[in-house]
A and B are shown apart, each in its own frame.
Chain A
């Protein structure tokens, strides 16, 4: 069965420290991979996407993610976290044969401490 797993429900990180959020997927077809961020009461904002090519992708707000096919992973990273990065982060997967149907992970809540 197709699935998207975000193993960490909640992560607390100090401001200025690095952040890594994990995402693993199980899909038969070639996946398209996304990271979205959701602030309280808001919709989803696209941080970055991977369709093909270079497996290290750069996004907005200083985020990057690396696609590792052998590990079926697409982890999100940021070298130095700001207080404004506190939010919920969702990994999502689509496929070429799913006509735009995204499957989301359960999300990771990030708390940033002073």
Chain B
């Protein structure tokens, strides 16, 4: 049973560029959440998708957007990258109704130069 997978593993971009990160949830899960983990800090909630809609959002600007596909996979898009966007981006999946029990992927390390 595959767990949560994310791609790519690492990514290097320059300021002002746009980036797309991808996530496939654990088999049987229908809800995907995204978190940003800056170096030396705990993960910060970005947003959550269920039934292809954004259900909750954390304190992140509109430059951060997402999408969920009918197969429950998800993308995180970040526009107009800033140096401060450099972080580990974690995807977590869960089953609606047990939404608080989340399983995390290995993350995508984004470096903005």
Contacts and interface: CB of A to CB of B under 8 A. Distances in A.
Given A100-B48, A100-B56, A32 B100 contact: yes
Interface in A14-39: 32, 34, 36
Give the dominant DSSP class at A's interface: strand
Sort chain B's interface into a size bin.
Answer: 20 to 34
A98 interface: yes
Contact of B107 (A4, A43, A100, A105): A43
Top 3 nearest A-B pairs (CB, nearest first) are A100-B99, A104-B42, A94-B100
10 contacts: A4-B42, A34-B101, A43-B4, A43-B106, A46-B101, A90-B43, A101-B58, A102-B43, A106-B41, A107-B41
Given A43-B105, A107-B42, 19 more contacts: A32-B100, A34-B101, A44-B90, A44-B92, A46-B101, A51-B100, A90-B42, A94-B99, A94-B100, A95-B100, A99-B55, A100-B102, A101-B33, A102-B43, A102-B100, A102-B102, A104-B42, A106-B41, A107-B41
